[in-house]
Structure 1
Amino acid sequence: MSNKAIEITSLTKMYDNGRGISDLNLEVDQGDIFGFLGPNGAGKTTAMKIMTGLMKPDLGDVKIYGYSILEHYVEAMEHVGCMIETAESYPYLTAYDNLKMFARYYPHVDEQRVNECLEMTGLSRYKNEKSRRFSLGMKQRLGLAAAMLSKPKLLILDEPLNGLDVEGMLDMRKLIKRLAEEEGTTFFISSHLIHDVELTCTKVGVIYGGRLVNVDKTQHILENYASLENYYVSEVDRNGRV
């Protein structure tokens, strides 16, 4: 298994409206918490959909732990958990029953693991409530619990803090850091919440106009800029935003 969790090579996907991603090249090491920043329409979700096999690229490839998502999809996704765009669930099932349903896809996931994921995401006390009654933040927690079920080595999360209150954001930040430090879980996270990315991610990539304009370690960025927000604005301005 490659020590590179993700290797993106010349990835291109263009839409009729001229948006998309163009010639994206990126490597993410095992154990990184990678933050993917960019304005709306920059191509974040498109890239993540291709990474998880939900969309085919026009050109290029993505390798996950050395396996191409185009040629060896099953092997590539074997150690991946993901939540893209919205956290889907069965609205008339309880949180517990939703996870039990998802657990059927993983032969090694038992009832104990289901309860662990409910506990880690703060849903234990709501385990018997139907998800149709959940707030957006609670649905996000349930989506994250589902993504974590199989103890994946890599979690690909699109706007995971969307809809969470302040307490929920703090809980998720702590959980992400704990999984990275204690279990070596790699994270690829897109977010528009720059402050949370600054406090959570070890490395940051900025995408603008469908192109990856820079990648750097968070620590190095903060040695040169007052905040990640200042760095982000500088990168976006430097690449032509008015």
Structure 2
Amino acid sequence: MEKVIEIKNLTKVFKNGRGITDINLDIHRGEIFGFLGPNGSGKTTTMKIMTGLMKPDSGDVKILGHSVLEDFEKAMEKVGCIIETAESYPYLTAYENLKQFSRYYKNVDDDRINEVLELTGIIKYKNEKPRKFSLGMKQRLGIAAAILSKPEVIILDEPLNGLDVEGMLDMRNLIKSLAERENTTFFISSHLIHDVELTCTHIGILYNGKLLNVDTTRNILNNYASLENYFVSEVETNGKV
């Protein structure tokens, strides 16, 4: 299988001692990888390094064969992402925001903008400004922007943050559909165990800045009653609880 994301010996430790240590991970095309861990475990730090927002102390990340550190533009050329919060221009409408973002890409026309608005469930709000949106609506708009260019890799930091039950179901179905129909590769961080279990094909547990284990969701659920049981077992096995 084709490696799409390669993380090698990635380390970033802050002055307070928190961060990530020696992360190694391979993610293949079409996988929906869930980066599961409690708040403060290092998920966002890893994703910031993956997207060039932060430099590691050591190690490297390659996306589609290109180093984020040495060939950033090539590495990010076919990547869509949301890190921490979905940002938008509050004085522009949802449609105008996506129109503005479309200027960064080739072959993104009005049809594609309307398509992603439909896919994320905000087509009827296309002429409203996001300053009036709820957190969940802003998140939907951010995801629309992330998938606008039909990226091969999508990196989402807590993508279900702020969504109601219907929104969570919509986003879960959208992620699965893109992975299945377009072979899109997803890297998703979350602390919501149940949603990771229902969404992701592969799961890695990050705890206190260390990657404890990586396995397929199918294997995990064949051996444990739930992902929660697996998580507790892995943490206890590694002597952290």
What TM-score, normalized by structure 2, do the two folds share?
0.98
Once residues 135 and 237 of structure 1 are traced to their aligned partners in structure 2, the CA distance between those partners, rounded to angstroms, is 38
Paired position in structure 2 for 1:220:
219
Q: Tell me the amino acid that sits aligned with residue 76 of structure 1.
A: A
Q: Tell me the amino acid that sits aligned with residue 217 of structure 2.
A: T
Q: Tell me the amino acid that sits aligned with residue 61 of structure 1.
A: D
Runs of 4+ in 1 over 4 A off after TM superposition: none
Once residues 80 and 116 of structure 1 are traced to their aligned partners in structure 2, the CA distance between those partners, rounded to angstroms, is 19
How far does residue 107 in structure 1 lie from its aligned partner after superposition? Answer: 2.2
Paired position in structure 1 for 2:233:
234
Paired position in structure 1 for 2:76:
77
Contact 1:208–1:239, Cα closer than 8 Å, also in 2: no
Once residues 38 and 57 of structure 1 are traced to their aligned partners in structure 2, the CA distance between those partners, rounded to angstroms, is 20
Aligned partner of residue 33 in structure 2, secondary structure: strand
Paired position in structure 2 for 1:62:
61
Once residues 93 and 234 of structure 2 are traced to their aligned partners in structure 1, the CA distance between those partners, rounded to angstroms, is 44
How far does residue 138 in structure 1 lie from its aligned partner after superposition? Answer: 0.4
Once residues 235 and 45 of structure 2 are traced to their aligned partners in structure 1, the CA distance between those partners, rounded to angstroms, is 19
Once residues 237 and 54 of structure 1 are traced to their aligned partners in structure 2, the CA distance between those partners, rounded to angstroms, is 33
Q: Which ranges in structure 2 are unaligned for 5 or more consecutive residues?
A: none
Aligned partner of residue 177 in structure 2, secondary structure: helix
Q: Which ranges in structure 1 are unaligned for 5 or more consecutive residues?
A: none
How far does residue 234 in structure 1 lie from its aligned partner after superposition? Answer: 1.3
Aligned partner of residue 22 in structure 2, secondary structure: strand
Once residues 240 and 91 of structure 2 are traced to their aligned partners in structure 1, the CA distance between those partners, rounded to angstroms, is 45
Once residues 239 and 46 of structure 1 are traced to their aligned partners in structure 2, the CA distance between those partners, rounded to angstroms, is 22
How far does residue 237 in structure 1 lie from its aligned partner after superposition? Answer: 2.2
Q: Aligned-residue CA RMSD in angstroms? A: 0.9
How far does residue 235 in structure 1 lie from its aligned partner after superposition? Answer: 1.3
How far does residue 92 in structure 1 lie from its aligned partner after superposition? Answer: 1.1
Once residues 124 and 55 of structure 1 are traced to their aligned partners in structure 2, the CA distance between those partners, rounded to angstroms, is 34
Q: Tell me the amino acid that sits aligned with residue 95 of structure 2.
A: Y
Q: Tell me the amino acid that sits aligned with residue 215 of structure 2.
A: D
Contact 1:89–1:143, Cα closer than 8 Å, also in 2: yes
Aligned 1:87-166 pairs, distance under 5 A: 87-166=86-165
Once residues 234 and 95 of structure 1 are traced to their aligned partners in structure 2, the CA distance between those partners, rounded to angstroms, is 44
Render the CA deviation track for 1:143-182: whole Å, top value 9, x for unaligned.
Answer: 0000001100010000000000000001111100100000
Q: How many residues end up aligned between the 2 structures? A: 241
Render the CA deviation track for 1:9-59: whole Å, top value 9, x for unaligned.
Answer: 000001000000011000000100000001111100000000000111110
What TM-score, normalized by structure 1, do the two folds share?
0.98
Contact 1:11–1:61, Cα closer than 8 Å, also in 2: yes
